[in-house]
């Protein structure tokens, strides 16, 4: 709220900001959304600066990419703020001991039945024959073996400079903020 409220002032104007709201639909103490806020969407506060808000399903990676590109294009074209409301859910609570079904039983009954994004993507790859069932099973087994052995399974982003997104900011480091204006 404060960032949006100050975003159009002379002292804090940035030329537009892309605001991303990770909207996990969690409200442990509020079972009825009508009691959570005065507006329909948590991003409705962006209307005070007339920023467009893109609501996108976090379960649809292609839509997320499309909306992100659209938001970046808007920001770069108009130098105005834009908001992405990434609507998703948490399969588990906010911490390991949390049981979100205590206060959100209907929602979490649906979430527990909902297939994970990984399962949807795997079915898509199998259907389009980008991946075979045997290859998929072997990849999953190999991955589980690495986890069981305590191996690092994520890409070492900061140590490996072959990933373009790790290097794209290097020319900005140790420069004055106004060098690229």
Residue 51: Cβ within 10 Å count: 22
163-175 pLDDT tens trace: 555 566 677 777 7
CA dist 46 and 129 (Å) reads 43
Domain ranges across the chain: 1-114, 115-151
56-113 pLDDT tens trace: 999 888 899 999 999 999 999 999 999 999 998 887 767 667 777 777 788 888 888 9
CA dist 169 and 158 (Å) reads 12
Strand order in the sheet with 18-23: 18-23, 82-87, 53-57
Ranked by mean pLDDT, the top range of 21-30, 38-47, 152-161 is 38-47
pLDDT value for 61: 87
Global pTM reads 0.70
């Amino acid at each position: 709220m404060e960032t949006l409220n100050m975003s159009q002032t002379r002292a804090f104007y940035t030329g537009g900001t892309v605001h991303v709201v990770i909207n996990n639909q969690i409200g442990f103490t509020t079972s009825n959304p009508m009691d959570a806020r005065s507006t329909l969407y948590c991003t409705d506060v962006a209307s005070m600066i007339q920023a467009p808000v893109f609501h996108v399903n976090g379960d649809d990676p292609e839509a997320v990419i499309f909306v992100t590109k659209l938001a970046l294009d808007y920001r770069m074209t108009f130098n105005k703020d834009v908001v992405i409301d990434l609507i998703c859910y948490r399969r588990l609570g906010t911490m390991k001991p949390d049981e979100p079904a205590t206060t959100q039983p209907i929602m979490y009954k649906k979430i527990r039945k909902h297939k994970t994004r990984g399962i949807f993507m795997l079915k898509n790859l199998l259907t389009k024959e980008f991946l075979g069932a045997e290859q998929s099973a072997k990849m999953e087994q190999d991955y589980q073996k690495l986890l069981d052995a305590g191996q690092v399974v994520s890409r070492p982003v900061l140590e490996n400079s072959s990933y373009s997104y790790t290097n794209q900011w290097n020319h900005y480091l140790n420069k004055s903020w106004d060098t690229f204006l």
